[in-house]
Amino acid sequence: MSQAHAERAGMPVYHGSQPGIVVCAAKVVSLEPHTSMPGVLVAAFSDFAKEMPLDPKWIQANHPQVGGYIVIPEGGGGAFMHTQQFEREFSPAPEDAPLTNVTE
């Protein structure tokens, strides 16, 4: 995921506690059933304006919960992390910091 991709997505960017780790992530404030797609949940976020539909297989594998973070690593995909774990491992990237080691 390039800096341009992260900016297009609009998700906040975070740097990992280990050098070279960059992710996009957002804190989940609600999980609601999708109105027309059974088994799909729609996540809303505190710091990201867009809602995100979550596939049933992803939900089963990741067990998202309100209050935690959906994390999109540089290679794509995504995972759920509980708040304490996420905040131990990541910090917000300064707005003027270059995003290094990030690929499209």
> Which pLDDT does position 48 carry in this prediction?
82
**pLDDT confidence bin for 76, thresholds 50/70/90:** confident
Do the domain assignments include residue 77? yes
Do the domain assignments include residue 102? no
Do 73 and 23 form a contact (C-beta atoms < 8 A)? yes
Do the domain assignments include residue 95? no
> Which pLDDT does position 104 carry in this prediction?
37
Do the domain assignments include residue 98? no
What's the CA gap between 25 and 11, in Å, rounded? 6
Please give the tally of structural domains in the chain. 1
Domain that holds residue 29: 3-90
- Residue pLDDT, tens place only, 17-66: 988 888 889 999 999 999 999 999 999 999 888 888 999 999 999 999 99
Whole-model pTM above 0.75? yes
Phi-psi region of 88 (alpha: psi -120 to 50; beta: other; left: phi over 0): alpha
Do the domain assignments include residue 81? yes
Do the domain assignments include residue 28? yes
